[in-house]
Structure 1
Amino acid sequence: MTSFPSVRTERLLLRPLRADDAEAINSYQSLPEVVQYMFWEVRTLAETREHLEKRLLTTALENDGDVLVVGVELAGPEHPARLIGEITLFLHSVANGQAEIGWAFHPDFQGHGFASEAASGMLDWAFAELDVHRIEAHLDPHNAASAAVCLRLGMQRDALLRENLLFKGAWGDTAVYGILRHERATRVAGRSQGDAGAGGSGGAPGAGSVDHADNAAGAGSVDHADNAAGAGSVDHAGSAASAGNT
């Protein structure tokens, strides 16, 4: 069993969610632009509290179908500590080393590279601590901002699944992005060498860079448990409508 402790990036802290995060989470889960690509509609505070209680029951990824949701908090000296979003990791198959990532962020924090930075930190943790071979993100093909985040993370667009799910009363397509363990390792090594050559700190890929493409309302699978049909991506098109909002 691999529990998630906390992961610090240049400007963010990825940490386990707490019961007292409900109001901060509801501040974006209640916004239409955030749930645009989600399987669920805007949530009331009571609904967010109920959903959070369920998510708090999972603190580790061990079995097929386990879903881990962690909070993303501002952690730099220039920012007061504040929860601005969440990162989700869905363990598809232990035997085959397959997982899926998703994210959701408050629109107030778009355009600063926070989604890329947080997802980068989660990818590095997942490949280092879990025996996974491949991590993918499922996106709505129209979610250009989240697609840009995926590409920035080094993911490739592997497939377009045509009308593979019924989303809010209409058939929708899913764009599948993926990255392999060795591809991520090569990317991290290349970035570290580049930073060292430039006199930089060699930080995690994507950390601290401003990325105006990070404006997606959602990308990646935000919560498969919320999809009764089992399709589970939060960005109907692939992971969450709220992935990549920063």
Structure 2
Amino acid sequence: MTTASTPPAQPAPPLPLATGRLVLRTVLASDGAAIGAYCADPEVTRYLPFAALDAEGLAERMARLVAATAPSVPGESLCLAVLHDDVLVGDVMLRLTDRHGPQDPPAIGELGWVFSPEYAGRGFATEAARALVDLAFTHYPLHRLMARLDPRNVASARLCERLGMTREAHTREDYADRDGTWSDTAVYGLLRREWAGS
């Protein structure tokens, strides 16, 4: 129920998305084996906010991914499986983060992605992320998209640049690593008017 202080719910996004080579659809429970294969790889998760997943960690992540289908308010996410020729090659995420005012719809979103190294170097991550950016700006009244990543994650930084994002900040030792050390964060941003003019 919508009240005077609650903005109306956003409709579910139109899915699946199709690009030249890929299909992006909601994550299914049956995707667990494919997602688990790359999320159990320490090299894949090296710069991610979670360690290589064991069975318990995979079950928790899959529950979150499967449920993330129709974000409407800050804190909710849309998670999509990325398929090439019916093979799952990675997953992408759009998380709604902030709104301009308490009665406004979300205005800022954050992007994330994880891909199987088996399919690296073929442009799948860029193609999928670009489709997610387009969906974010066409379906939601977002003003800004952002990505936060470890500056050592050169592949993701290059992906942000290919998406037309601007490196806006480098914050020092603001993220506690799993090994007890502190890491930096690089922040990339893309404004609606920049996307519309590209």
* TM class, shorter-length: 0.7 to 0.9
Match of 1:94 in 2: 99
What 5-or-longer segments of structure 2 have no aligned partner?
1-9, 101-105
Structure 2 residue matching 1:10: 3-state secondary structure: coil
What 5-or-longer segments of structure 1 have no aligned partner?
75-79, 188-246
**TM-score (normalised: structure 1):** 0.71
Structure 2 residue matching 1:178: 3-state secondary structure: strand
Match of 1:57 in 2: 67
Q: 1:57-206 to 2 correspondence within 5 Å? A: 57-74=67-84, 80-95=85-100, 97-168=107-178, 169-187=180-198
Question: Aligned pair count?
Answer: 182
Q: Distance in 1 between matches of 2:194 and 2:31?
A: 35
CA distances 1:56-77 after superposition (whole Å, capped 9, x unpaired): 2231111111122110001xxx
Q: Distance in 1 between matches of 2:50 and 2:162?
A: 27
Q: Distance in 1 between matches of 2:172 and 2:56?
A: 35
CA distances 1:13-35 after superposition (whole Å, capped 9, x unpaired): 11001010000100100111111
Contact 1:154 1:179 in 2 (8 A): yes
Which amino acid counterpart does residue 62 of structure 2 have in structure 1?
L
Structure 1 residue matching 2:168: 3-state secondary structure: strand
Structure 2 residue matching 1:31: 3-state secondary structure: coil
**TM-score (normalised: structure 2):** 0.88
Structure 2 residue matching 1:157: 3-state secondary structure: strand
Q: Distance in 1 between matches of 2:99 and 2:27?
A: 24
> Is 2:7 the counterpart of 1:2?
no
1:115–1:163 distance in 2 versus 1, CA, 3 Å: same
CA distances 1:89-112 after superposition (whole Å, capped 9, x unpaired): 110013361110010000011111
Q: Distance in 2 between matches of 1:166 and 1:49?
A: 24
Which amino acid counterpart does residue 105 of structure 1 have in structure 2?
F
Post-superposition offset of 1:40: 1.8
Structure 1 residue matching 2:32: 3-state secondary structure: helix
Which amino acid counterpart does residue 108 of structure 2 have in structure 1?
Q
Which amino acid counterpart does residue 171 of structure 1 have in structure 2?
W
Structure 1 residue matching 2:167: 3-state secondary structure: strand
Contact 1:137 1:176 in 2 (8 A): yes
Contact 1:2 1:130 in 2 (8 A): no
Post-superposition offset of 1:46: 4.4
The structure whose RCO (Cα within 8 Å, separation 6+) is larger is 1
